Amino acid sequence: MKRRQFIHLALLSPLALDHRILATDSEGAHRIVTPLPDGKPHRFAFQGHDFIFDGARFQIRSGEMHPARIPKSHWQHRIRMAKAMGLNTIALYIMWNYLESEPGMFDFTSERRDFVSFIKLCQQEGMWVYLRPGPYICGEWDMGGLPPYLLRNENIQLRDRHDVNYMAAVRRYIAAMAPKIAPLMIDAGGPILMLQVENEYSSSAADVGYLEAIRDLWKAHGIDGPFSISDVLPDLKRRHAYLPGSALGLDGAEPPQLREGSHFAPHAPIWVGEAYPGWLTHWGEHEFSHKDCAEALRKVIAAGYSFNLYVVHGGTNFGLTAGANADDDGTNFQPVITSYDYRAPIDERGDPTPAYHVLREIIGGAAAEPIPPPCPKGSFADALPEPFASLWDNLPITPVQTHAPASNEQLLQQNQGLVVYRKTVKRGRQLHIDGVRDYAVVHVDQTERGSISRVHDPRLHTSPNLPLVHAGGDSEMALDILVDSFGHINFGPPLGDRKGLVGSVHLDGKPLHDWQVYGLPLDDAFIAGLKPMLTHPDRAGLFFQATVQMQKQGDVYVDMRGWTKGYVWVNGHLLGRYWHIGPQQCLYCPSEWLTTGDNRILILDLHQTKVAPVRCADHLAGTA
């Protein structure tokens, strides 16, 4: 294939588009200056395999980051960091379930949900935008961005145009989103170059009609494209789910695969929809995952292809937003850690990594703008939390009654958090529990007797069978099964697994029925209404609290290496989950959630009754 050539667009005004200069460095990589978003309408289109900006060729050099994962006060810094690498575009996912928690209840303004402001900030900083709004995104995000309320319908078929209920929700989502996106499209003077339809659809299905239906919904609401899709070449070759006329982003591809992609999109651009400078990490893995895309990126740039670094900056899965992976049959469950550092070129707190400097040289950013100064790093003195409340004292007054265990979504309309299944039974010897989603702690007569984990790890020593001490006679015992959920699976056939107990419970081989079920959603209202305890109980399932004062203002990591498994809040903000099996041991807390006065750290640990220190760390794995 003849080597591609791309145009050097040195633009001071729209008229400068007529002045085209081709320049290469000593390694043959093209130095490209792109037009800046100036608030005026422009035309972005496809011509053959090229992206075309106002009649001239354009190369997308994109880095992905997600405003939902970045403290709002740091949005501008992260965008400037990407620009200093030599990138000209920011790609971003929009997470549907972060905007619509309940049917018809949209929130576009609180916390990190104001994606419109983020996109306008990209434009202000001279960056174009590649928008990836779903409805499904994957992204190691809870349920791939789809709202878990969909799972309350027992027969829902996700990502299926023939499912009336699913498509009704999709239509509502796009109808709410389109009026906000349309004014930001490039033909309206905004920075959005193109919009992705769905994501990696060929990984699970082959219905091109579904992709066409999603595209047509956007068009019906005034967004005429251009459109793109992203897929992995082997899946695309197997299922052929290419949306006609769309740009084809091939994930993880190098020039040979990109050339092969032209068989599917003979009249549209082929580009690297996701180039991986890092990788995701799951709980229980012995080290943080990483990748090196430097050599692959050199080849892609030398061949003149456009690309998107996934991700240039990852950020954090704050709260309960982290997703999970599993094999196609739902086994080998792998929940994603709270950090989305991803070993990206810009790390979780916004600092450049060694990979940042390497990729910056390859892309050409070193000759562009200086690297922004780092965000301030804070510190606080060690603190020893005190027991504050017991989750057992904070169960709802009225339980839900059910004959057999059932999922949180269907039984309680609760997406994640904790659920207690309670029953008084005759004393037995062996308890067997099926369908734990995803972690259960068993209490007998208010004493912890063991745990069961959907994550198989030798450090946990769990199994579905728990031996119980037999006290003799026909005496009864109080059985509590406390179930803790991770995020819903976000990829592949098991997408959207339901949480809670979805199987059966047997005592000495006999099924147990007629349960009392208590939901603890761990949402803001629940935490704000915690009832403190008057005495120190010995029963696991405690909230601990500490008050710390900042020694230095800035972002911090909260070191949880002395704790077992649970959740951490700072001043009412849920940082996320921690778990002693790691590899993540510390949770990132941005400076915008901290004050110069007293700062309250609240910890819910499912196992510990003894306190351990809370320390300030240097990074997500602990103090260097």
Per residue in 429-474, pLDDT tens? 899 999 999 999 999 999 999 999 999 998 898 888 888 865 555 6
Exposure letters 500-525 (e unless 16+ CB within 10 A, then b) = bbbeebbbeeeebeebbbbbbbbbee
Residue 474: predicted pLDDT = 63
If one counts every other C-beta atom within 10 angstroms of the C-beta of residue 441, the result is 22
Q: What is the DSSP string of 560-589?
A: -TT--EEEEEETTEEEEEEETT-S--EEEE
**Residue 64 annotated in active site:** no
Same fold, 379-389+526-617 and 392-521: yes
- In this prediction the pTM is 0.93
Name the helix (H) or strand (E) containing 130: strand 128-132
- CA 61 – CA 307 distance, rounded (Å): 5
Q: What is the DSSP letter of 151?
A: G
CATH class of 8-313+345-367: alpha beta
Residue 26: predicted pLDDT = 34
Q: What is the phi/psi pair of residue 90, to 5°? A: -110, 125
If one counts every other C-beta atom within 10 angstroms of the C-beta of residue 62, the result is 28
Give, in order, the Cα–Cα distances in Å from 326 to each of 282, 435, 456.
11, 15, 12
Domain coordinates of the chain in residue numbers? 8-313+345-367, 379-389+526-617, 392-521
- CA 357 – CA 4 distance, rounded (Å): 26
Q: Find all residues with CB under 8 Å of 450, minimum gap 6, and list them.
A: 441, 442, 462, 466
CATH topology of domain 379-389+526-617: Jelly Rolls (2.60.120)
- List, in sequence order, every residue forming a beta bridge with 135; answer none if it has no partner: none
Q: Which of 321, 257, 282, 249 shows the shortest CA–CA distance to 522?
A: 321
Residue 623: predicted pLDDT = 46
Q: Find all residues with CB under 8 Å of 514, minimum gap 6, and list them.
A: 401, 402, 403, 423
Q: What is the DSSP letter of 489?
A: B
Contact predicate 452/440, CB 8 Å: yes
Residue 469: predicted pLDDT = 67
**Residue 212 annotated in active site:** no
| Tokens (6 digits) for 505 | 């419970």
384 burial (CB, 10 Å; 0-12 / 13-18 / 19+) is: exposed
Q: 64, 198, 254, 274: which is the annotated catalytic residue?
A: 274
- CA 140 – CA 279 distance, rounded (Å): 11
- CA 315 – CA 82 distance, rounded (Å): 13
Q: What is the phi/psi pair of residue 24, to 5°? A: -135, 155
HSE value, Cβ hemisphere, 13 Å, CA-based, for 253: 28
Q: Name the stretches of the chain with pLDDT < 70.
A: 1-33, 469-474, 622-624
- CA 28 – CA 81 distance, rounded (Å): 25
| Tokens (6 digits) for 84 | 């200093």
Q: 140, 200, 348, 409: which is the annotated catalytic residue?
A: 200
* Amino acid making up residue 293: C
Contact predicate 59/163, CB 8 Å: no
Exposure letters 78-105 (e unless 16+ CB within 10 A, then b) = bbbbbbbbbbbbbbbbbbbbbbbeeeee
Percent of the chain with pLDDT over 90: 88
CATH number listed for the domain at residues 392-521: 2.60.120.260
Average pLDDT of the chain to the nearest whole number: 92
3-state secondary structure of 218: helix
**Per-residue pLDDT tens digits for 322-380:** 999 999 999 999 999 999 999 999 999 999 999 999 999 999 877 778 999 999 999 99
Residue 275: predicted pLDDT = 98
If one counts every other C-beta atom within 10 angstroms of the C-beta of residue 220, the result is 12
Contact predicate 166/150, CB 8 Å: yes
Q: Is the dihedral of CA 101, 103, 108, 110 positive or negative?
A: negative
Alpha helices in 308-454, H assignment, sequence order:
354-363, 408-412
